[in-house]
Each structure stands twice: as structure tokens, then as C-alpha cells.
Copies of this chain bind each other. A is one copy, B any other.
Amino acid sequence: MEKILEGLIQKNRHLIQKGHVANYIPALSKVNPNYIGLAIADVDGHIYCAGDYNIKFSIQSISKIISLMLALIDNGEDYVFSKVGYEPTDEPFNTLYKLDLNSCNPANPMINSGAIITTSLIRGNKDEKFDRIIEFIRLITENPNIGYNEEVYLSEKATGHKNRAIAYLMKAKGYLDGEVEDILDVYFKQCSVEVTAVDVAKIGLFIARRCPLNLDSKINNERLASIVTAIITTCGMYDFSGEYAAKVGIPSKSGVGGGILGTIPNKLGIGVFSPALDRFGNSIAGYGIMKDLARELNLNIF
């Protein structure tokens, strides 16, 4: 298996040339574009790795899965989805205009506006929210060393004007409860959590194993896993989600840090890392690897 993974890395490495490391904050633009790593964690407890599987990178939008799960655990499905939609959108992740135009909640929890909502729904004040996020990630990755990158966090906070505009607009429209700057602070911090491809594969495995945790929760574990899997399938890869579903067929969520999480129900979790991005904000070599992986291991669910 590891040979297969190694082969996929070699085959897709050349794609890095065609992509660009995220440059909207200085901290991200300094990342070495040549990293490429892959990990698979299956339900039998095996972990297969290749390439730069143990390099840390910022989780970015993959954290939207985490805040969605915690929001659901704390509030239940009905309440969460009275505040954010289930619907995929053909708009980019940082879209804003429909919030102004349509007077409706954010389309889904995988775009920034929706993720700011789910973060706001996590129990506790701003410190408690973030503690719960980091503890939850540590728990499901079985990695107690996970922390966040202070430089990335401060960069996001200093330059996140679009997210600030989104949050204030939602405040003005009555969609967002709580103190705007506090919620943004948690949001910027959760995006700067550092993980490896192995950590990401384990988050994917956690969902694939149907969230087997004994938590104080307002949603049952099977349902939690199923919702997350459905939502990343329709919305997980930004405005490329439809094409990705048709060409890869692995429920996945990407982040502009270069990570992609995959999850196949009852089978396995996948973590890919390669920081050069395509124009949608998805890891360009990561997409290539996922496409090949789906074919080689027959993982396409469609």
C-alpha cells in the first residue's frame, strides 16, 4: 500500500509547478511549495503514509468541519440548520453579496460566512470556544500536541477584512449572535491550528467510523457523521465541489493551507498535504492524488 501512495506522490508532484501557495497573508506565503505528503488511516487501525506526511501546516478551512461538528454536538441539527443552510453554492468561499441581496442565512457551513456562524454556535465564551475546538481536534486525532500557529493567527486577524465585513453584515442582518470581534478571533485562531497529513487522515477516519465518541451531545453519532459526509460532498471543495464529486467521488474538504481531508464511510480517512493551490483554493497536487487514489483503490462513491 505504501508503495502505491509513494507512486501517486511521484506521479502528481509535477502539478506543483502549476499552482501557487496562498498569498493573502504573509505567514502562508512563506510555506515551501514543494511539500507533498499523504496518509491513509483505515477502520482496522492501519495507517499508511508517504512523502511529507509529518510536516505541519495550518488547517484553514478543514477546521470548518470541526466547528460544524461542535455546533451540532452543542445545539442539535435543527437549531444549527435554522442558522445556516445545507445548500451548495456556485459562489467562492468568501462570497458576501447574497447575504446582502437575498436576506437569507449563509448557504452552507463550508463557506466562510457559514463557518463563522457555526463557530458562534459553539458553547462558551471566546476562550472556552477555542479550548473546545483544540481539545476536540486533539481527541479525534489522538494527538495531544496539536496547537495553533501564533504568526498565522495574528496575520489572519490583522488582514481578515473580508471576513470582518461578512461578520458585521451578518450582525447587521441579525444572523449572528454574540460579540463580532470575539467570534472572529476564535475563527481566525481555529484556521491557524497546525496539523499533519496523518492528523487529517485521522479526522477523516473519525467521520468514517461514524464518530465513535461518548460525548454529551444533542445529535447521535451516526447522524453527525452522515451530515458532515453529505455536506462536504456537496460543498467541501469550494466552487469546484461539483466537478470534484464527478471526477473524484471521495467526500472531501480542502483548506488553503494545502490540506485535503477525505472520508469513505465505514472504510477509511485520507489526509493529503501539498501547499500549491489551484484557482479555486484547492491543493493542485492534492487534487491529482485524490483523483488517482479514487481510481486505484476504487473509492469513488458514485
Contacts and interface: CB of A to CB of B under 8 A. Distances in A.
Contacts of A96: 96-97, 100, 169
A241 B88 contact: yes
B180 A229 contact: no
A168 B171 contact: no
A251 B302 contact: yes
B172 A165 contact: yes
A32 interface: no
Contact of A245 (B164, B233, B265, B300): B233
A249 B234 contact: no
A301 interface: yes
Interface in A253-273: 265
A229 B88 contact: no
Contacts of A88: 87-90, 234, 241-242
A131 B89 CA distance: 35
A103 to B, nearest CB: 11
Interface in A65-113: 81, 85-91, 95-98, 100-101, 107-108
Contacts of A301: 265, 301
A23 interface: no
Q: How large is the interface on A (under 10, 10 to 19, 20 to 34, 35 or more residues)?
A: 35 or more
A14 interface: no
A218 interface: no
B302 A226 contact: yes
A4 interface: no
Contacts of A235: 242
A115 B282 CA distance: 28
A90 B167 CA distance: 20
A157 to B, nearest CB: 13
A243 B86 contact: yes
A227 interface: yes
Contacts of A229: 302
B169 A165 contact: yes
A302 B242 contact: no
A139 interface: no
A246 interface: yes
Which 5 A-B pairs have CB atoms at the shortest separation, nearest pair first?
A: A161-B172, A165-B169, A88-B88, A97-B97, A165-B168
A87 B161 contact: no
A231 B226 contact: no
A182 B20 CA distance: 35
Interface string A165-188: 111110110000000100000000
21 contacts: A81-B243, A85-B90, A86-B242, A86-B243, A88-B88, A88-B242, A89-B89, A97-B101, A100-B100, A101-B101, A161-B172, A162-B169, A162-B172, A165-B166, A227-B246, A230-B246, A230-B249, A234-B245, A251-B302, A265-B302, A301-B301
A156 interface: no
A52 interface: no
